[in-house]
Amino acid sequence: MDIEGYCRRELKKGISEEEILTEISSLILKIKFNSDKDNKDNKDNIDNIDKAKLLAEAVLEEVKKTNRNIDNKFLNDLLNFPKSNVSMGEIGVGSRGKGDFFVHEKICSIASHNISGKFNNVVVGAKEHDDAGIVCIGENGKDKENEKKENEKFIVVSVDGTHSRLSEYPFIAGFHVARASLRDIYVKGAKPVALLDDLHLADDGDVGRLFDFVAGISVVSELADVPLVAGSTLRIGGDMVIGERMVSCVGAVGIINDANFIKARKNVRVGDKILMTGGAGGGTIATTAIYSGNFDVVPETMNISFIKACKILHEKNLLHKTNAMLDVTNGGIRGDAYEVLNLLNAEKDRDKEKIINIIEILNNDYEEFFYPSKEPFNVLISTILSQRTKDERTKQAAENLFKFISKPEDVLKCKIDKIENAIKGVNFYKTKAKRIAGISKILIERYNSKVPDNEYDLLKLNGVGRKTANCVLTFGFNRQAIPVDTHVHRISNRLGIMNTENPAETENELKKILPKDYWKTINYIFVQHGQNVCLPRNPQCMWCKIKEYCGHSLKEDGLKKNVSIKFYGPKIKNLINKKVYNMLKNLNIDYLGVSLDSLMLFVPPENCGEIIKILRNAGIEIDEIGEVIESKREGKILLTDENNNEKAIEPLFRESAYTKIKKVVGEQAPGKFEEMKKNVDKAYQDALKKKEEILKFIAPAGI
């Protein structure tokens, strides 16, 4: 019970100090002294009543002092955290679903927001959302550009929190959290070298819990041959929290001696087969078993099969035959697959940087399209003239034509051959002359001689496609749009930024990754670059300023693959411990959304047979349970059933409700989820600003 937090809330609500003191005293008596204010016959209890009152008064006094107004803005900002008005429970932090992933994305963004630019030795950092972090060190303890790769070493670190519901079962909590932390080290391809713990027990917790918890960690330490070397023990909230609740974590450190052994999630490749070892679950399954009365399932979770499998991969020199590894924990198979796909989608962030760099490089070489004026009719006609025609010819034709026309009525007063002669330099000039006349007639008859200011009506005009319509909206009406023609489509795909089949798809993908400030620019730059350098056939790569960004110039296919992950449901079921599976089934708990303590490997097809054979010979259950496939559309997680029927699955707002109280809380997103995300994002932005301000205060001359 957080009596400090309770006191703060009551004061904010305007509750009188007398009422607050009475309530806090009562809580302290009940929880801390296991008594109540009505029991006045016992001297010890009378002493406890007096002590509870003194404690309550001290709490109130301290809280009131912190509630003073601070005139100094810097101090005020320093001592107050950015408010989101969204609680942990509301948005599902720790519940391994969409709400949790959203918040952790913000946390990782703050952690990786490197203002000083010093951390160039991070191989796998917070922004990857991986199981563990990896930094590169050289002989002198830091990465050197001129250092030989054979001298590179990598330190891998992880930390895992104890399952919150195992506070009453410290040994089981210690065992499972230690094993989980080691799993995170192993799946990065590292050999663990040390464990450390951080144990927090509330003020009224029995000291015996400390010993039981560390004993649980020590069992894993002995079995895995990894020493527990350091730790800390503190009270939760000091004197301000009463009760017996325990919270804790265990960290692990590992070493990788060869960069080829790094098995980060970002190494997953299209075509990989997915192998998985058998699993009986960890803290989540143990919690489910205990709180549903299935105590016989708990011993099934007490094993080191996962660690054994990883050791075999090291000993048999199989690590280099896998691309990536992970443990099935973060929201189960469904959650882990979601995070892998998100990481592969994070390529879009790199694409964003890539395409912005490209635009900035080419921007000095190409000027905005020539339009005699930015009047919408002028832009419309000029864009029609430019179709399949080089800019210099378009410019000359437009100048000739606009000497005697400025509005639709002018066009209809002219003979068609006069228009043809004026625009003779452009391709298909006779067709375009008729098109200009036809469009002018429609504008007069249907739109009061005005060019429509929306895509729907523009596309009704003969000869106006999406590219022309977007040019009119962009250059004539100053609207946000991306005009995409064959050049923009071709170059975007050739660079490897996307893999789309037509300009419309390219437009949609560009809108996802390109900041709006660049929407107008990309068209005229890519069109001119496509006409002069990046030709449809025989592109002039030797003269291209952006060839370092281009897959085509590197003799690659240059196509970005959209990725889906496909799982075979029946094979996954067969790998789950039978007692565990039956318990989950009987309790109506989705096995795809809970931690299974299984090792998942992403392996090139040609290596699967060898890995499966060696692990099975060592007594490890393992099978091929899925594959990473190329998709034409946005990537999805797919699941096939016994009849080979396929469906798309995705994480819930809160992953599988594996206890009764979680079922009451629910798995679905609240109606105000989008609003909560906006509020959380605002708090995140405020936290970043605060970080920058404090850095400037401490080191005004720079770091």
Binding residue ranges: 534, 541, 544, 550
Give the position of tokens 């098109």.
435
* Residue 408 CB-density burial (10 A; 0-12 exposed, 13-18 middle, 19+ buried): buried
Count Cβ atoms below 10 Å from residue 38 Cβ, excluding itself: 9
* Residue 222 CB-density burial (10 A; 0-12 exposed, 13-18 middle, 19+ buried): exposed
Give the pair of three-digit tokens for residue 699: 């080191």
The DSSP H or E segment spanning 101 is helix 98-111
**How many Å apart are CA 390 and CA 540, to the nearest integer?**
17
DSSP string, 482-507: ----HHHHHHHHHTTS---SSHHHHH
Give the position of tokens 């008859």.
445
Nearest one of 384, 372, 471, 465 to 432, comparing CA atoms: 384
**How many Å apart are CA 25 and CA 202, to the nearest integer?**
18
**How many Å apart are CA 653 and CA 666, to the nearest integer?**
9
**How many Å apart are CA 501 and CA 503, to the nearest integer?**
7
**How many Å apart are CA 457 and CA 525, to the nearest integer?**
27
User: What strand order describes the sheet that includes 122-124?
Assistant: 122-124, 133-137, 153-161, 246-256, 191-201, 228-235
**How many Å apart are CA 151 and CA 138, to the nearest integer?**
6
**How many Å apart are CA 177 and CA 425, to the nearest integer?**
75
CA dihedral 467, 469, 475, 479 (to 10 degrees): -110
CA dihedral 387, 389, 394, 400 (to 10 degrees): -90
The sign of the CA dihedral 671, 672, 673, 674 is: positive
The number of angstroms, rounded, from the C-alpha of 489 to the middle of its chain's C-alpha atoms is: 28
Give the pair of three-digit tokens for residue 444: 């007069």
In whole angstroms, how far apart are CA 186 and each of 46, 67, 338, 379, 619?
A: 56, 47, 21, 61, 19
Asked whether 630 and 561 are in contact (CB, 8 A), the reply is yes
Question: Considering just the CA atoms, what is the radius of gyration of the chain in Å?
Answer: 32
Paired sense of beta strands 273-277 and 622-631, if any = antiparallel
Give the pair of three-digit tokens for residue 559: 């196509």
**How many Å apart are CA 73 and CA 395, to the nearest integer?**
58
Give the position of tokens 């007692």.
579
**How many Å apart are CA 247 and CA 238, to the nearest integer?**
13
The number of angstroms, rounded, from the C-alpha of 641 to the middle of its chain's C-alpha atoms is: 28
The number of angstroms, rounded, from the C-alpha of 280 to the middle of its chain's C-alpha atoms is: 28
Q: Which amino acid is at 468?
A: T
Give the pair of three-digit tokens for residue 223: 């079995």
In whole angstroms, how far apart are CA 127 and each of 2, 117, 182, 189, 618?
A: 33, 15, 21, 19, 36
Asked whether 253 and 185 are in contact (CB, 8 A), the reply is yes
Binding residues for [4Fe-4S] cluster are: 534, 541, 544, 550
